[in-house]
Amino acid sequence: MVDQSAGARALSFLKELVAAQASGEPAVQKCVANRLRANGCIVDERAYDPAAVPVIGEFAGGRAQTQGQRTNVVARLPGDPQKRSILVFAHPDSEPVDNIEAWSSSPFVLEERAGRLYGWGVADDLAGIAAGALALEAAAAVPEADRGDIVFISAPSKRHARGVSAALHDNFEADGALYLHPAESGAGLTEIKALASGHLEFRIIISGRYPDTTEPSHTAFSHLAENPLDKAVLIHAALKKLDAERGANIHHPAIDKVVGRSTNLLISNISCGEDRRFGRINLECTMGCALSFPPGETLEDVKSQVEAAIMTAAAEDRWLAENPPRIEWVAGVTGAECPPDHPLYLAAARAVEAVTGVVPHVNPMHTSSDIRNPIVQKGIPTVAIGGLCGDLTQNGRTDEWIDRDDFLRMATATTEIILGWCGERRNGTN
C-alpha cells in the first residue's frame, strides 16, 4: 500500500523538480540538495569533469562526449557497518529544452490528466530523483543500528556525463546499487532492469578518386574514377556477413528468448554527395553504424572483429587495399547483468511484488542502461526499477508523462528495497 502522506510529499517534490527544469540542471541539483539536507542526510556537492573520469569498459569522443564541468549531489545516511550498504542513483539532467510550443500544457508545471503526470523530464529522470529522495526521508527515520550505510546520488548521465562513474572512482564502495528510472518498455514497475547489452557506435570513411578530366560532368568518365559509393557496397556486404556470423554464434539465453538473437549490427546511414549533383563522383562516402552485444563480450573484442571484417574486405579490392577505409570509434559501453538469483534482485522482486501484487520479470532489452556503471566500474551488483511512462522527449516526442499511481508505487517500492537490503548483515542475517 502507498502511504497517503508520503504520496503527497512525493508529488509535491516532483512538482518542485519540474518547475526547476525551467532554470536548468543547476537549479534542479540545488533543489535536490536542499531536499536531501532537510531529510537529515549529509550532503556533498561535488564538481567533476566528465572527460577526466577514469572509466573502465567505456569511451566517448567528439560530440558524443558532453563538455564542461558537472556536479554530483551525494547524500549519505551512515548506518551499521556490519549491515549491507547500498548506492541509490538517478539522473537530474534532461534533454535540451526545445519545441515547448508543441506541448499541450506548460512543460514546467506538473499537470495531471487522466491519471498521468506531465512535465519536462518527469520520466527522464525526475521521477527517479523524487523517489530516491523520499526513500531516504523514510530511511532517516530508522535507527542507524537497524540499517547499513545508504548513499543517494543525483548524478548527471546523458551524453556520457558519467556522474555515477565519477562517484564510484572517488573511493566509493557499496554492497549493492539501485538505479531509479521509469521504464520505457510499457511494463512499468512490473519489470526489473537487471541486464543491459553493450553498445558500440562507429563511423567508416571511404575515400574515392576523381576521373582525370576537366569536364564538369564525370558521368562519361566514371569508369576511370574510384567511386567511394561502390566501395561502400563492398564494406556494407562485409559488415552484413559479420552480423550474420555473430548472430549465429553469440548467444545470451534471456535476449535470445525475446528477440531471437543476442547481437545486432545496424548500418543506420550512408552519406555520399549532394542530392542535386547526380553527374559527379564524390571523394568520400561515410557509413554510420551501431552494434549491440551481450554481457560477457568486451568492447575491445567487438572492435577487433569489426576492424578485421572491414580490412579483410578492403584487402580484396585494389583501390581499398591501397587506400583503406578509416574507422572512427564514436562511443561505446560494456554490457552487464545481475543474475535473477542474486540476493539484490530477490530483494527488489519481493518489494515490487508487495507493492504491485505482481511478480516482476526481467526485461533484457535495455541496451546501455545505467545499471552497467556500478557493475562494470566497481563490480557492485545493480538493478533498476521505474514506473510506467511514455512520450519521452529523448525519443523526439512531446507531453512526456509518468503514470501517477505507478510513480507512487515506485516511491514505496524504493523505500522497501532500501530498507529490506540494508536491514540485513552482510552474511544475509538480521
DSSP state of 187: -
CATH 2.30.110.10 assigned to domain 198-333? The reply is no
Q: Which phi and psi (to 5°) does residue 243 adopt?
A: -60, -45
Closest CA to 205 of 290, 323, 104, 94: 323
Residues 6+ apart with CB under 8 A from 356: 189, 190, 409, 413
Residues 6+ apart with CB under 8 A from 285: 205, 206, 208, 228, 229, 231, 232, 270, 271, 272
pLDDT digits (tens, 9 = 90+) for 127-153: 999 999 999 999 999 999 999 999 999
Residue 293 near residue 273, CB atoms below 8 Å:
no
The reported pLDDT for the residue numbered 320 is 98
Residue 55 near residue 162, CB atoms below 8 Å:
yes
Q: What is d(CA 75, CA 81) in angstroms, rounded to the nearest whole number?
A: 17
- Give the pLDDT mean for 9-20: 95
Closest CA to 22 of 119, 112, 117: 119
Question: Cis bond leading into 170, ω under 30°?
Answer: no
Q: What is d(CA 147, CA 423) in angstroms, rounded to the nearest whole number?
A: 5
Listed in order, strand segments (DSSP E) in 54-130 are 58-60, 70-77, 86-90, 111-113, 116-118
**Which DSSP helix (H) or strand (E) runs through 110?**
none
The reported pLDDT for the residue numbered 358 is 96
Residue 383 near residue 338, CB atoms below 8 Å:
yes
Percent of the chain clearing pLDDT 70 (strictly above): 99
Residue 263 near residue 200, CB atoms below 8 Å:
no
Answer whether residue 63 shows pLDDT above 90.
no
> Roughly what angle, to the nearest 10 degrees, separates helices 228-249 and 299-315?
130
DSSP state of 224: G
Answer whether residue 1 shows pLDDT above 60.
no
Q: What is the mean pLDDT of the chain?
A: 94
Closest CA to 290 of 303, 279, 277: 303
- In this chain, the answer to whether the domains covering 4-196+336-422 and 198-333 adopt an identical fold is no
- Give the pLDDT mean for 183-201: 93
Q: What is d(CA 14, CA 124) in angstroms, rounded to the nearest whole number?
A: 12
Where does 143-272 have alpha helices with state H?
Answer: 163-168, 228-249, 253-259
The reported pLDDT for the residue numbered 11 is 95
Cell (9 digits) for 205:
570513411
Q: What is d(CA 369, CA 179) in angstroms, rounded to the nearest whole number?
A: 9
Answer whether residue 4 shows pLDDT above 90.
no
For cell 556470423, the residue is 245
pLDDT digits (tens, 9 = 90+) for 216-274: 899 999 999 999 999 999 999 999 999 999 999 999 999 999 999 999 999 999 999 88
pLDDT digits (tens, 9 = 90+) for 49-62: 998 999 999 998 77
Residue 236 near residue 289, CB atoms below 8 Å:
no
Residue 364 near residue 183, CB atoms below 8 Å:
no
The reported pLDDT for the residue numbered 428 is 64
pLDDT digits (tens, 9 = 90+) for 404-420: 999 999 999 999 999 99
Q: pLDDT grade, residue 322 (50/70/90)?
A: very high
Percent of the chain clearing pLDDT 90 (strictly above): 84
Answer whether residue 275 shows pLDDT above 90.
no
Residue 111 near residue 105, CB atoms below 8 Å:
yes
- Give the pLDDT mean for 344-370: 94
Q: For domain 4-196+336-422, which architecture applies?
A: 3-Layer(aba) Sandwich (3.40)
**Cα distances (angstroms) measured from residue 176 to each of 143, 199, 253, 364, 382:** 20, 24, 24, 19, 6
pLDDT digits (tens, 9 = 90+) for 82-94: 999 999 999 999 8
Closest CA to 84 of 178, 175, 152, 153: 175
* Domain map (residue ranges) of the chain: 4-196+336-422, 198-333
The reported pLDDT for the residue numbered 362 is 95
Neighbour tally for 212: CB within 10 Å? 8
pTM over 0.75: yes
Length of the chain: 430
The reported pLDDT for the residue numbered 429 is 62
Q: What SS3 class is residue 252?
A: coil
Closest CA to 164 of 132, 200, 199, 122: 132
The reported pLDDT for the residue numbered 366 is 87
For the chain, count helices (H), then strands (E): 11, 19
Torsion 138-142-145-146 (CA) sign? negative
Residue 136 near residue 39, CB atoms below 8 Å:
yes
Answer whether residue 297 shows pLDDT above 70.
yes
Q: pLDDT grade, residue 430 (50/70/90)?
A: low
